[in-house]
Amino acid sequence: MNVTEIFGKNVFNDVVMRERLPKDTYKALKRTMDLGERLTEDVADVVANAMKDWAIEKGATHYTHWFQPMTGKTAEKHDSFIEPTGDGSVIMEFSGKQLIQGEPDASSFPNGGLRATFEARGYTAWDATSPAFLKDDTLCIPTAFCSYSGEALDKKTPLLRSMEAIDKQALRILRLFGDKETKKVMTTLGPEQEYFLIDKRLYQQRKDLIFTGRTLFGAMPPKGQELDDHYFGSIKERISAFMKEIDVELWKLGITSKTKHNEVAPAQHEMAPIFTTANIATDHNQLVMDTITKVAQHHELACLLHEKPFAGVNGSGKHNNWSISTPTANLLSPGKTPHSNAQFLTFLVAIIAAVDEYAPLLRLSAANAGNEHRLGANEAPPAIISIFLGEQLTDIIEQIKAGALTSSKEAETMKLGVTTLPDFPKDVTDRNRTSPFAFTGNRFEFRMVGSNQSISGPSIVLNTILAEVLSRIADRLEGVENFELELSHILEELVKDHYDVIFNGDGYSEDWVDEAERRGLPNIKTTPEAISVFNRPEYVEMFAKHSVFSQQEVTARQEIMFEEYSKNINIEALTMVEIAKREILPAVMEYMGALSNTILSIKSAVPSADVSVQTALVERMSNLVKEANDKVDELDTMVNRVHHEIEDFEKQAYAYKFEVFPAMEALRKPCDELETIVSEEFWPFPTYSDLLFRV
């Protein structure tokens, strides 16, 4: 296999553009891509035509505006290139206008009431900074999706806005440090994607997996992950064949699939690409999730992207490696000269302050129904936001806190820069896996994010909160007489105010929960509580200040999140009722019947035989059946009431969490116990042992 030849084969990338576009058009398009200049219609026409020719040569017949609505998935409506000529034949056409803008119906996507106020129509607009690509004979144009009056209806628009915000504010800081050259500051992302692979035929026998993505019933198997024999273990042939196909498919799409390995839990795996610009990384991650799901089918496998497919077994996250950089330098790389040290420390301290001040927003960005099972459940990062810096950096931060920068008499000299920074050997910086937000040498790794989530949300929050703190720092520094002194004061103040968010210890321990409480760090345990923080006035104001979300957009998004959460739990509850009533209870009764018949025949054949064991078992099952049946009724009634009677989105989400959810757990308990005593032959669906170990 010639990887260099395959790589990017299905992407209308820079090489293709340079080859196929007239020089002027290429230059104009580059200016749009790099500097955000408006694209004129003539240029768009030429680009569209070149794209179409390229796509058709590769067998394409259709094009689509590919976008990321609030469902967290991607959406595409395919149109063929055909245009009738009037004589009964067709030609293949694709205009600049069709490239730049599309008009899907916004009312069919979650919009949080935004479209009701305006028009049903929504608009998709080409994101020229993310390259077009071919998928299934269709030319896919990455686009942003918004309402008639410009409100974002997708996950991409606010991401692009937040990237602009950080660009603007970080450039102000760079200018203050004397950098006159740099024209752009970008956010970079490298998401590590975890997932489970199970046998497709077994998957198809589980309604819970099909409808909800996770198992709603299931007793623990005798073997779990306690032997640590899966992590980095040798990869089974069938899985390896799957992984090879994934690599090829992703490489064709220009996705730098780099790392693959087995994860901690049985049947759990991970893939990681090489990082790239945030919006492209977000597009790519959507394509990764899409591709692994599809390719799994080729191997008779089912891919589970859910954050917690199996109770009691490690869940799946998506570590978001995040940094900011200029076209030539990573701004989170500790510098070598005193000058670059000071700049690095300024960004670092700004991040510490931003993460501490806006911790609830970061928690919100990782909140959904699935991830609720992970966060704080002693296996994933806790729901408490803290920052891991490692010993060396913490030491420097402690010096700043102790006034090392400002106590000196000759404060004019750049004390800041004198602080020498250690060279961080990349591999040894962080092996603390229990921190939700860890510095790993030249980037931060945000580990709370769920495996099934779009990575745009966490980046939107990170970018915006950092832009906010940077803007405050720049406000104070611009025009100040003694730059070094003022900067020293600012950093000392910020470190003093936000030192408590730094924690290098074991984030999974009970002690940390108490300690964090003493420090006053928020511990937002549930998803509805996390969603509730979204519209706090100070957050709304901050998002508006940086033009990332308007007040209306915040309201709409909050409503969508509550609604999505409620809908998920509602489906889970209904699925449980159905499985319990129509699969588990009938199966148990059948087994009880068979056992009772056995007792009768033993008794009639050998009247003196001791059948106390069999009788006790039937009795035990009877009790559990009664309990399960009561719990089914309770859950059924409860979910109907919450679904139909509570109108307020927020109240409804809380009711799903604090009323419906406990009723689901109460039903699961007797059912899981039944699983451990009912004969395998009678049990209606594959168990955890089957799902996790028969791949």
Give min distance, CB of 227 to Mg ion, in A.
23
> Which residue's CB is nearer to ligand ADP, number 329 or number 589?
329
Cβ(656)–Cβ(168) below 8 Å: no
Nearest to 75 by CA among 154, 21, 22: 154
Give min distance, CB of 281 to ligand ADP, in A.
8
Indicate the DSSP class of residue 204: T
Residues 185-204 interacting with Mg ion (rule: CB under 5 A): 192
Give min distance, CB of 430 to Mg ion, in A.
9
Give min distance, CB of 434 to Mg ion, in A.
12
Total of chain residues touching Mg ion, rule CB under 5 A: 2
Stretch that binds Mg ion, among 318-326, 486-494, 512-520, 644-652 (CB under 5 A): 318-326
Give min distance, CB of 515 to ligand ADP, in A.
25
319 near Mg ion (CB under 5 A): yes
> Which residue's CB is nearer to Mg ion, number 254 or number 441?
441
318 near Mg ion (CB under 5 A): no
> Which residue's CB is nearer to ligand ADP, number 322 or number 534?
322
Torsion sign, CA atoms 151, 155, 158, 161: negative
> Which residue's CB is nearer to ligand ADP, number 157 or number 188?
188
**From Mg ion, ligand ADP, none, which one binds at residue 323 (CB under 5 to 8 Å depending on kind)?**
ligand ADP
**From ligand ADP, Mg ion, none, which one binds at residue 672 (CB under 5 to 8 Å depending on kind)?**
none
Residues 6+ apart with CB under 8 A from 275: 188, 189, 190, 281, 321, 323, 443
Give whole-number Cα distances, 193 to 66, 259, 320, in Å: 21, 10, 9
Give min distance, CB of 449 to Mg ion, in A.
11
**From ligand ADP, Mg ion, none, which one binds at residue 535 (CB under 5 to 8 Å depending on kind)?**
none
Give min distance, CB of 319 to Mg ion, in A.
4
With CB atoms as reference, the residue minimizing the distance to ligand ADP is: 190
Stretch that binds Mg ion, among 19-27, 123-131, 314-322, 618-626 (CB under 5 A): 314-322
Cβ(655)–Cβ(642) below 8 Å: yes
> Which residue's CB is nearer to ligand ADP, number 15 or number 274?
274
Parallel, antiparallel, or unpaired: how do β-strands 90-92 and 101-102 relate? unpaired
Sites of contact with ligand ADP (CB under 6 A): 188-190, 192, 259, 272-275, 319, 321-323, 330, 442-443
> Which residue's CB is nearer to ligand ADP, number 438 or number 621?
438
Cβ(17)–Cβ(128) below 8 Å: no
**From Mg ion, ligand ADP, none, which one binds at residue 190 (CB under 5 to 8 Å depending on kind)?**
ligand ADP
What tokens does 295 get? 């390719």
Residue listed under structure tokens 């994101």: 127
CA 156 to chain centre: 13
CA dist., res. 445 & res. 508, Å (int): 17
Strand ranges, E, within 104-241: 122-126, 133-135, 138-147, 186-199
Give min distance, CB of 447 to ligand ADP, in A.
9
What tokens does 22 get? 């007239």
135 near Mg ion (CB under 5 A): no
Stretch that binds Mg ion, among 164-172, 319-327, 388-396, 477-485 (CB under 5 A): 319-327
| Helix residue ranges per DSSP H, 58-214 | 96-100, 114-117, 157-176, 200-203, 207-212
Give min distance, CB of 445 to ligand ADP, in A.
6
Nearest to 122 by CA among 90, 96, 157, 162: 157
Parallel, antiparallel, or unpaired: how do β-strands 62-66 and 138-147 relate? parallel
Where do contacts with Mg ion occur on this chain (CB under 5 A)? 192, 319
